[in-house]
A and B are shown apart, each in its own frame.
Chain A
Amino acid sequence: MKRNRRLTALLGSGLLAVLLLVLSGPVQAAKEKYFDRSGRLIVEEKPAADLLRPYQAGNREPEKTFPVPAPPFSEGIYPCSDCHGEMETNPQRRELEDMHTDIVLNHAEGQRWCLDCHNPDDRDVLRLVSGETIPFDQSYRLCGQCHGDKFRDWKVGIHGKRTGYWNGDKQYLLCAHCHNPHDPAFKAMKPLPPPVRPGEARH
Chain B
Amino acid sequence: MSNCCKQPALGIDRRTALKGLATGVAALALPASNASASVWEAFFQKHFRELSKDELKQVLARLTKEYSQEFGKEVSVKATPAIEGVTYGYGLDLSRCIGCRRCVYGCVAENNQSRDPQIHWIRVLQLEQEKGTALEYAEHYYNPQTVPEEGHFYMPVQCQQCSNPPCTKVCPVQATWPEKDGIVVVDYNWCIGCRYCMAACPYGARHFNWGKANVPADELNPDTHYLGNRPRPIGVVEKCTFCIQRTREQPGRYPACEEICPVGARKFGNLNDPESEMRYLIENKRVFILKEELNTQPKFFYFYAT
Interface assignment of A111: CB less than 8 Å from any CB of chain B: no
Given contacts A165-B252, A192-B104, contact A158 B269 (CB under 8 A): no
Interface assignment of B305: CB less than 8 Å from any CB of chain A: yes
Interface assignment of B142: CB less than 8 Å from any CB of chain A: yes
Query: What distance in Å separates the Cβ of A98 from its nearest Cβ neighbour in chain B?
Result: 34
Once the chains are docked, how many angstroms separate the CA of A162 from the CA of B268? 10
Given contacts A189-B146, A194-B140, contact A203 B2 (CB under 8 A): yes
B281 surroundings in chain A (CB, below 8 A): 158
A180-192: CB near B (< 8 Å → 1, else 0) gives 0000001011111
Once the chains are docked, how many angstroms separate the CA of A117 from the CA of B253? 35
- Nearest B residue to A192 via CB reads B101
Q: Are the CB atoms of A168 and B147 closer together than 8 Å?
A: no
A201 surroundings in chain B (CB, below 8 A): 1, 116-118
- Nearest A residue to B102 via CB reads A192
Once the chains are docked, how many angstroms separate the CA of A108 from the CA of B102? 31
Q: Are the CB atoms of B147 and A188 closer together than 8 Å?
A: yes
Q: Are the CB atoms of A168 and B264 closer together than 8 Å?
A: no
Once the chains are docked, how many angstroms separate the CA of A159 from the CA of B285? 12
Binding site of A, secondary structure by majority: helix, strand, loop or mixed? loop
Interface assignment of B263: CB less than 8 Å from any CB of chain A: yes
Query: What distance in Å separates the Cβ of A185 from its nearest Cβ neighbour in chain B?
Result: 12
Interface assignment of A153: CB less than 8 Å from any CB of chain B: yes
Q: Are the CB atoms of A195 and B263 closer together than 8 Å?
A: no
- Nearest B residue to A153 via CB reads B305
- Nearest B residue to A202 via CB reads B116
The interface on chain B, measured as residues whose beta carbon lies within 8 A of the other chain's beta carbons, has a size of 46
B102-144: CB near A (< 8 Å → 1, else 0) gives 1011000000000011101001000000000000000011111
Which of A163, A191, A196 has a CB less than 8 Å from the CB of B101? Answer: A191
Q: Are the CB atoms of A156 and B146 closer together than 8 Å?
A: no
Binding site of B, secondary structure by majority: helix, strand, loop or mixed? loop
Given contacts A153-B305, A157-B277, A166-B247, contact A197 B141 (CB under 8 A): yes
Interface assignment of A19: CB less than 8 Å from any CB of chain B: no
A188 surroundings in chain B (CB, below 8 A): 98, 146-148
Query: What distance in Å separates the Cβ of B122 from its nearest Cβ neighbour in chain A?
Result: 10
Q: Are the CB atoms of A167 and B252 closer together than 8 Å?
A: yes
Interface assignment of B261: CB less than 8 Å from any CB of chain A: yes
Query: What distance in Å separates the Cβ of A36 from its nearest Cβ neighbour in chain B?
Result: 15
Which of A158, A162, A178, A191 has a CB less than 8 Å from the CB of B100? Answer: A191
Once the chains are docked, how many angstroms separate the CA of A49 from the CA of B212? 75
Which of A153, A190, A196, A203 has a CB less than 8 Å from the CB of B145? Answer: A190
Query: What distance in Å separates the Cβ of A195 from its nearest Cβ neighbour in chain B?
Result: 5
B242-264: CB near A (< 8 Å → 1, else 0) gives 00000100111110000101111
- Nearest A residue to B2 via CB reads A203
Q: Are the CB atoms of B277 and A158 closer together than 8 Å?
A: yes
A82-103: CB near B (< 8 Å → 1, else 0) gives 0000000000000000000000
Once the chains are docked, how many angstroms separate the CA of A196 from the CA of B120? 10
A125 surroundings in chain B (CB, below 8 A): none
Interface assignment of A120: CB less than 8 Å from any CB of chain B: no
B100 surroundings in chain A (CB, below 8 A): 189-192
- Nearest A residue to B303 via CB reads A158
Query: What distance in Å separates the Cβ of B300 from its nearest Cβ neighbour in chain A?
Result: 15
Query: What distance in Å separates the Cβ of A193 from its nearest Cβ neighbour in chain B?
Result: 7
Once the chains are docked, how many angstroms separate the CA of A156 from the CA of B145? 34
Query: What distance in Å separates the Cβ of B257 from its nearest Cβ neighbour in chain A?
Result: 12
- Nearest A residue to B248 via CB reads A167
Q: Are the CB atoms of A161 and B264 closer together than 8 Å?
A: yes
Q: Are the CB atoms of A203 and B116 closer together than 8 Å?
A: yes
Q: Are the CB atoms of B254 and A165 closer together than 8 Å?
A: yes
Interface assignment of B165: CB less than 8 Å from any CB of chain A: no
A158 surroundings in chain B (CB, below 8 A): 93, 267, 277, 280-281, 285, 305
7 more contacts with CB within 8 A, not counting A158-B277, A178-B262, A201-B117, are A167-B86, A186-B263, A189-B98, A189-B262, A191-B146, A195-B120, A195-B140
Q: List 18 A-B contacts (CB under 8 A).
A: A156-B277, A163-B259, A165-B252, A165-B253, A166-B252, A166-B270, A167-B86, A178-B263, A188-B146, A188-B147, A189-B100, A190-B100, A191-B143, A192-B104, A196-B118, A202-B116, A203-B2, A203-B116
5 nearest A-B pairs in the assembled complex, by CB-CB distance: A168-B251, A161-B264, A165-B251, A157-B277, A188-B146
